[in-house]
Structure 1
């Protein structure tokens, strides 16, 4: 399947040397951006599916990821149970429509999150935890009470549900105040006694919206151990009878008895669609996974899945709840097999509150076993299951108690999310190191408060993903909505609403064309990074914590470490690096003085003040150094191995290897030569990297950021100006080259770039406005052809003044009447009250005379715009501008001496219309389960829901000043 995916992504790039015909890489469904596509209540129908998908395809989306979720009040009669025959019919129809529209489809392997759960998952397959009791017993005494543990009831339901009503669901199609009344008057079920067991036996689970549920019950006993004050241990489990009586008297000394019980963590499938509600699975049990996946096997019988690309998992998220899922049946046997000793003999060390070295080492082994199980009993078999169907998997590994680099390693498309470059590194690094062509991102989630994010904001975060190595954008997201539903239709609760009813949909295609062009480059070639930064998983897993398990997500837990410090430092200075795990390191080979991974070549490995190294990792590093590699050690060399099992033997082998390294040298660096290579130690990361002949990209000194891809005979550079300053200068490149071609993915302009050689480096002349970006293709040979167009101001700018005609084209709630405005400003300030509530597109028009003097071209600057603007001059569209800069180049031949007609079609957001609806009490918040959260606390009403009732109308329109300036 991987080979097939690579073939799909193989892009044709034609560049004829000499008189060059410069062509952009070919595009396909995967180079285009995708979007998560929520199906509320799975209440979809063929007519609206076709209409929705046609709109998505028209704006340039290449694929959709279907995620069924909770439903919409008033549409209960249209709910379709997840994976039912009727559900499979609409799913099959969706696949057919995708084929018609040249789109592809992924589907979440489940509904809502976490992955896996529902009516098929009973107590045996549900996620587990453990509880324990202790007793102190003197010599000759026993334990009189029963050895049992009663789990106490616990219930957490997501707020603002429709529950505890005789008429739980309003009649289908109910609208207006009736729904709002039911939402406001409803009360939570707070008493577990009111719920039947098992949970899926309850009616109205959509309304109950249960997030976590524990029933009152006695928990099954797992083990009883007695520990003496002089270190002896006795297994008493077999001496407990069916009634919980322990038939045992304590021998000489004082004994502490531990009884451990298996409990139910109680996590439910959160935000579940109808027919998918129920227990979340035990992610440490392959048997539980297989039971869950069998539901798909049954549903898919006879279905044509050829247009389905693959399956998706939206992060771990089991422990977004009370307590942790930290146990599975058979755990003690798994531990013994993997760690080489019996954990039952060390329960006091595992569970003690005040940690010592032995306790921390046992705790590490426990955590490592959980990590192994999540990888080997869940992630890998899920991947194999998909492969058997000829499908790929896309996975968000973060948030789990495993080494997320390893979990990312065993899937086809690692996916990240968020806004931090170092967070992106985990998914992207696994893709780079292991030769995975795609690294995806759940993009633009909660950028701002509801209805506040512009397409320019989205572009900013997309560029950040590109810099982080992501090359497959999946917007978060689009909510299916019936075509005849009252505006704003159905919305998902995350704060960027990529909906066709959103005014910015008119200009969404411009952003998508930009993303497609960028990704056509970023999905080509190979990653071109220099440094492998070792991920110190063992260090953090050897540290105490509030809970037994740590969960891994970006740099959380590493904030005050040298690992984070070094990563931040290298990122800021422009060093190109990936993160690598212990398991991934075993796939690295030495190549001369460099390093080779399955995905590409690197120059060095950095250990950032790592304390513990697994013995196989140290052995591998030593072997790589002997073969010629340079291993860099920032600050201290690792002091030993983690864990408790076979500690003395492993530590001795560790010491034997390190003792052979003889560090010597004066000053900041010390070097230990071993074989053909060396270890170099020091406390200055820049000096260390220079010693390994590794240097940053020099353009970072000019305020630019970039990422490189290696291609035959050269490189691709994606370059971004994230500063507030214009860059208009010679930019040196870190890789050798003789020439460069520049591409502007926003405008489509391309040409041979202006270059020069200075200090043995190729420099490229770059002009980038704040927020701007470009792609360079460098080559080792000189290239000729159409030159890239550069412009500089040739005179003063002239403001275009006069009476602007303002015509409201489309939007609502109604169109304000046309008006003439002598001065540009927000259309919320026009005399007509409708201007304050209007969301949509309005056209500004004016005529002007050509400025005096000759010019090669002109720069038309719109000044300030809220939010996006399409510019048309004398009938020719010059472009759509998303911001933050609103400038466009005008060919000189397009400008007439007089009567130049300028049209500027400005589109704002949903905000003003939503404010009006909120103040009018219109019923747009009508969703089960999550109905409708605010991102920021100040935007919550007395009921805890999002409200814009106190907002003022948002500035909208062409604010100017609009100027035109001659260029040369």
Structure 2
């Protein structure tokens, strides 16, 4: 029989703990005090965190100091700011190099890694275990992930049980299990028989008549750590058990023996603990939290035809599981890490809990992009065969960024490009808009998924993780990686400066999700957003307001309880976060305490917009009287008609009831950013009154217009993040609004800095005009293959530029690597005031350009254009273009020739649909430059 343990803290204690994260207790780092040290016309400083980071797969832990040193130097040179070590399964044939996780030899490699990274000013994060989720050999069966197995019996006086009390689930019966609870029901009479079981057929209980019995067996889920590394195999942890979590943390405490490595953060992957819906003391905790014994209502909870009662019971079940996950795992884990001077980085999605509160309880909330999105950008490739069956939704990322913003944490990370496309077929031009979409959702600390530790001496394609995107030093795009990373660094330096600048907070009615009558455990996964997110008014209103040009964050019930009012605005994170309006979308269920908190905020001066009157209270216990209390509370508001709905003055603030939220916001005078009407998307940061706008054009049409900005200034600075170009914009200045000319072709991005004053030492931005002078770069072209394989094709002279895969040369068809296109062009007298652009046409897939021996930069995304102003001269100009293609053609060659390259333990290697991988039937992917190449002169 399983024994029960102590219960969780009360809801008041949970609120105190979550609130502590807001003010910087429990190690949750608040935004540091900042001064406006950003100079107009200059990019914010390059920092460790403004550079991109990556997950770093240690395959088989087969690492050595020589390769660690070499790889870290390669990574730093490529522009990476840090790595997250994730030990996983290894490659076959290298077993003699495998190191046991946490062994002295492994610890020595970790310490060497940290020391070398520190010398390069790189950071290191560490997955706390191997593979995912948390677990391993230190997790005993009784502390492993648990589930409840429900079996129904009948008992008749004089005859006893209809069958033995044994676990009938054959799979579960083979794992650690036990009878946890036995309940008897006869009409309104309920008896707990858990202590009356003599053996599987006999009860120390005599009762008259016929009874329905429900047995709850506690059983292991049996889930093992996925993709475990040597020394890391074992059961997945019971995240709901404080005892199991503490034992798990103690294991690492002892393993490091007070000599904790100088890592930055411990990391936890998405909650993929499948089937885990129970723990030993669940019923006791439930009774303490919800005020009644759930065991008295098991027939309704597990009713075959769910009704309102079962939905309420399930809501209470889900809320309790959430609180146990928060109080027994997320918070203690963060406190433990902080006690050792480390942070926590966590993906809350996938868990059966309130994502906002779970994200808020760690130091660096992390989202995830999974699959590829559709963008109407002309020329962007998105092959149907290389697409996962789920589209990423940037609104999902806002759960992580909102939690960070409301609790004063500056960094919001993301596991980026998981299964962006099929292996070896994803280019920077496809990755760029996907990442930009994450930036727009509030992410500012991206992690590649990922880079594998791959020794220098391993043949192409190196060691690889089974899920793309794979970027390692063997990748043909690697020499151009630093160009893409420089773009990311510039953008992230802006998005990490200042504080988020949003007008609206949108309440997330999580109780509507928890009241789903179907099933029991409710895992809020990235892959299930069509069920739990997309159909909701919360999602629809959030998307509508963002599409209209408002910035917003999501708030939970606990976050609302911690809000303050300052000068008529909502305030959080000790005054470092502000918003003007709280919007309550249509909500089926809302706690009375939340409505009380909302009205109290209005009394203090806050403005609240309700889309509809709250309909009901969540949960089962005493819900009729709680419903009456909610109704009474709402009826205390006296509404008057307004053009945009009904409005009730409440103290110094107001409560508005309207189905048209946008119309109400306009009626309140809240200003949106009308640039969205031109197809632009944006995110805005505040630097003590100055503003940063990050703009992207993901539409199918170019934008060349004077666009209004909500914030006025004497000057506006344009900052182009791909090459780092800066200049003062053409504009019309005003005190409350500035109108700025913006030129953005589909696929381009731009940073706008609205400074305080007019910096006079910045040159004016050079705009393109509609009728440029065009100088074609005609043939002949010299094409020479640089580095790659399987063999280096012979040099060739081309009469006109074309992809090397158009050559009648099998070596060129199979080649993956870099090749050099060389030519020259002639210009007349240089116009000192003109803008000179190199138009490359179609690039397959990335280009690095030199003119007259000087490096111009990288063209890795649409529209494949570089500003060459200042690099050209009158007369002859030498042009050198290094093009890197994808790995696909060379991998195709390997499979066509039965050359073994995928040979891994465990999952080995799969395609995007998790089937056997085989590239032998692939078509040749075009590689090189198709052009046309020209020089545009904009006088």
TM-score (norm 2): 0.91
**1:648 to 1:402, Cα distance in 2 relative to 1, 3 A:** same
Separation in structure 2 between the aligned mates of residue 395 and residue 356 of structure 1, nearest angstrom: 36
Contact between 1:729 and 1:766, CA under 8 Å: does it hold in 2? yes
Tell me, yes or no, if structure 1 residue 580 matches structure 2 residue 555: yes
| Aligned match of 2:864 | 886
Separation in structure 1 between the aligned mates of residue 663 and residue 546 of structure 2, nearest angstrom: 16
- Give the SS at the match of 2:143: coil
**1:558 to 1:848, Cα distance in 2 relative to 1, 3 A:** closer
Separation in structure 2 between the aligned mates of residue 464 and residue 606 of structure 1, nearest angstrom: 24
**1:656 to 1:552, Cα distance in 2 relative to 1, 3 A:** farther
**1:606 to 1:302, Cα distance in 2 relative to 1, 3 A:** closer
Tell me, yes or no, if structure 1 residue 567 matches structure 2 residue 525: no
| Aligned match of 1:168 | none
Q: 1:420 aligns with which of 356, 380, 393?
A: 393
**1:872 to 1:743, Cα distance in 2 relative to 1, 3 A:** same
| Aligned match of 1:677 | 653
Contact between 2:718 and 2:765, CA under 8 Å: does it hold in 1? no
| Aligned match of 2:360 | 409
Q: 2:135 aligns with which of 110, 113, 117?
A: 117
Separation in structure 2 between the aligned mates of residue 11 and residue 746 of structure 1, nearest angstrom: 27
Give the 5 Å matches for 1:913-932.
913-932=890-909
Separation in structure 1 between the aligned mates of residue 633 and residue 120 of structure 2, nearest angstrom: 60
Tell me, yes or no, if structure 1 residue 774 matches structure 2 residue 750: yes
**1:79 to 1:282, Cα distance in 2 relative to 1, 3 A:** same
Could you tell me how far 1:8 is from its partner in structure 2?
A: 10
Separation in structure 1 between the aligned mates of residue 175 and residue 328 of structure 2, nearest angstrom: 28
- Stretch deviating more after TM superposition (741-750 or 687-696): 687-696
How many equivalent residue pairs? 888
Contact between 1:92 and 1:303, CA under 8 Å: does it hold in 2? no
Contact between 2:505 and 2:579, CA under 8 Å: does it hold in 1? yes
Q: 1:492 aligns with which of 462, 465, 468?
A: 465
| Aligned match of 1:516 | 489
Give the 5 Å matches for 1:321-340.
324-340=275-291
**1:667 to 1:786, Cα distance in 2 relative to 1, 3 A:** closer
| Aligned match of 1:383 | 334
**1:90 to 1:597, Cα distance in 2 relative to 1, 3 A:** same
Separation in structure 2 between the aligned mates of residue 461 and residue 217 of structure 1, nearest angstrom: 43
- The CA deviation string for residues 395-433 of structure 1, in whole angstroms up to 9 with x for no partner, is 000000010100001100000012321011000000111
| Aligned match of 1:105 | 124
Contact between 1:142 and 1:250, CA under 8 Å: does it hold in 2? no
Separation in structure 2 between the aligned mates of residue 221 and residue 57 of structure 1, nearest angstrom: 55
Could you tell me how far 1:336 is from its partner in structure 2?
A: 0.8
Separation in structure 1 between the aligned mates of residue 29 and residue 702 of structure 2, nearest angstrom: 38
Separation in structure 2 between the aligned mates of residue 9 and residue 449 of structure 1, nearest angstrom: 41
Tell me, yes or no, if structure 1 residue 657 matches structure 2 residue 676: no
| Aligned match of 2:109 | 90
| Aligned match of 1:161 | none
Separation in structure 1 between the aligned mates of residue 36 and residue 650 of structure 2, nearest angstrom: 44
| Aligned match of 2:454 | 481
Tell me, yes or no, if structure 1 residue 962 matches structure 2 residue 933: yes
Contact between 2:142 and 2:220, CA under 8 Å: does it hold in 1? no
Separation in structure 1 between the aligned mates of residue 857 and residue 617 of structure 2, nearest angstrom: 60
**1:525 to 1:15, Cα distance in 2 relative to 1, 3 A:** closer
Separation in structure 1 between the aligned mates of residue 128 and residue 610 of structure 2, nearest angstrom: 42
Separation in structure 2 between the aligned mates of residue 839 and residue 873 of structure 1, nearest angstrom: 25
Could you tell me how far 1:555 is from its partner in structure 2?
A: 4.1
| Aligned match of 2:705 | 729
- Give the SS at the match of 1:492: coil
Separation in structure 1 between the aligned mates of residue 515 and residue 710 of structure 2, nearest angstrom: 39
Q: 1:359 aligns with which of 269, 294, 310?
A: 310
Tell me, yes or no, if structure 1 residue 752 matches structure 2 residue 728: yes
- Stretch deviating more after TM superposition (237-246 or 29-38): 237-246
Could you tell me how far 1:15 is from its partner in structure 2?
A: 5.8
- The CA deviation string for residues 260-306 of structure 1, in whole angstroms up to 9 with x for no partner, is 11111111101000111111011100111111122211221153523
Contact between 1:756 and 1:763, CA under 8 Å: does it hold in 2? yes
Tell me, yes or no, if structure 1 residue 143 matches structure 2 residue 116: no
**1:97 to 1:141, Cα distance in 2 relative to 1, 3 A:** same
| Aligned match of 1:210 | none
Q: 1:73 aligns with which of 76, 87, 92?
A: 92
Give the 5 Å matches for 1:522-671.
522-553=495-526, 555-556=529-530, 557-598=532-573, 599-634=576-611, 636-665=612-641, 669-671=645-647
Give the 5 Å matches for 1:860-875.
860-875=838-853
Contact between 2:31 and 2:410, CA under 8 Å: does it hold in 1? no
Contact between 1:34 and 1:61, CA under 8 Å: does it hold in 2? yes
Separation in structure 2 between the aligned mates of residue 10 and residue 450 of structure 1, nearest angstrom: 44
Separation in structure 1 between the aligned mates of residue 871 and residue 124 of structure 2, nearest angstrom: 45
| Aligned match of 2:191 | 234
Could you tell me how far 1:628 is from its partner in structure 2?
A: 1.5
Could you tell me how far 1:86 is from its partner in structure 2?
A: 1.3
Could you tell me how far 1:784 is from its partner in structure 2?
A: 2.4
Contact between 2:505 and 2:552, CA under 8 Å: does it hold in 1? yes
Separation in structure 1 between the aligned mates of residue 666 and residue 748 of structure 2, nearest angstrom: 31
**1:34 to 1:11, Cα distance in 2 relative to 1, 3 A:** farther
Separation in structure 1 between the aligned mates of residue 38 and residue 282 of structure 2, nearest angstrom: 58
Separation in structure 2 between the aligned mates of residue 13 and residue 661 of structure 1, nearest angstrom: 43
- Give the SS at the match of 2:161: coil
**1:11 to 1:721, Cα distance in 2 relative to 1, 3 A:** farther
Separation in structure 1 between the aligned mates of residue 114 and residue 173 of structure 2, nearest angstrom: 41
**1:496 to 1:122, Cα distance in 2 relative to 1, 3 A:** same
| Aligned match of 1:316 | 271
- Give the SS at the match of 2:165: coil
Separation in structure 2 between the aligned mates of residue 11 and residue 30 of structure 1, nearest angstrom: 16
| Aligned match of 2:208 | 251
| Aligned match of 1:292 | 248
Separation in structure 2 between the aligned mates of residue 470 and residue 35 of structure 1, nearest angstrom: 15
| Aligned match of 2:803 | 826
**1:255 to 1:218, Cα distance in 2 relative to 1, 3 A:** farther
Could you tell me how far 1:783 is from its partner in structure 2?
A: 3.2
Separation in structure 2 between the aligned mates of residue 952 and residue 552 of structure 1, nearest angstrom: 35
- The CA deviation string for residues 179-208 of structure 1, in whole angstroms up to 9 with x for no partner, is xxxxxxxxxxxxxxxxxxxxxxxxxxxxxx
CA RMSD for the aligned pairs? 2.2
- Give the SS at the match of 1:699: helix
Could you tell me how far 1:593 is from its partner in structure 2?
A: 2.6
**1:475 to 1:892, Cα distance in 2 relative to 1, 3 A:** closer
Tell me, yes or no, if structure 1 residue 812 matches structure 2 residue 763: no
Give the 5 Å matches for 1:1-12.
none
- The CA deviation string for residues 165-189 of structure 1, in whole angstroms up to 9 with x for no partner, is xxxxxxxxxxxxxxxxxxxxxxxxx
Could you tell me how far 1:831 is from its partner in structure 2?
A: 2.6
- Stretch deviating more after TM superposition (928-937 or 411-420): 928-937
| Aligned match of 1:951 | 922
Give the 5 Å matches for 1:150-165.
150-153=168-171
- The CA deviation string for residues 802-849 of structure 1, in whole angstroms up to 9 with x for no partner, is 211111111111111111010221201213221001111111111232
Q: Structure 2: which 5+ runs fail to align?
A: 1-20, 370-391
Could you tell me how far 1:796 is from its partner in structure 2?
A: 3.7
TM-score (norm 1): 0.89
Tell me, yes or no, if structure 1 residue 47 matches structure 2 residue 66: yes
| Aligned match of 1:431 | 404
Q: 2:879 aligns with which of 892, 902, 913?
A: 902
Tell me, yes or no, if structure 1 residue 457 matches structure 2 residue 475: no
- Give the SS at the match of 2:640: coil
- Give the SS at the match of 1:766: strand
- Give the SS at the match of 1:277: coil
Q: Structure 1: which 5+ runs fail to align?
A: 154-213, 938-943
Could you tell me how far 1:6 is from its partner in structure 2?
A: 6.6
Could you tell me how far 1:893 is from its partner in structure 2?
A: 6.8
- The CA deviation string for residues 719-745 of structure 1, in whole angstroms up to 9 with x for no partner, is 111123222221211234332222112
Q: 2:441 aligns with which of 468, 471, 478?
A: 468
- Give the SS at the match of 2:124: strand
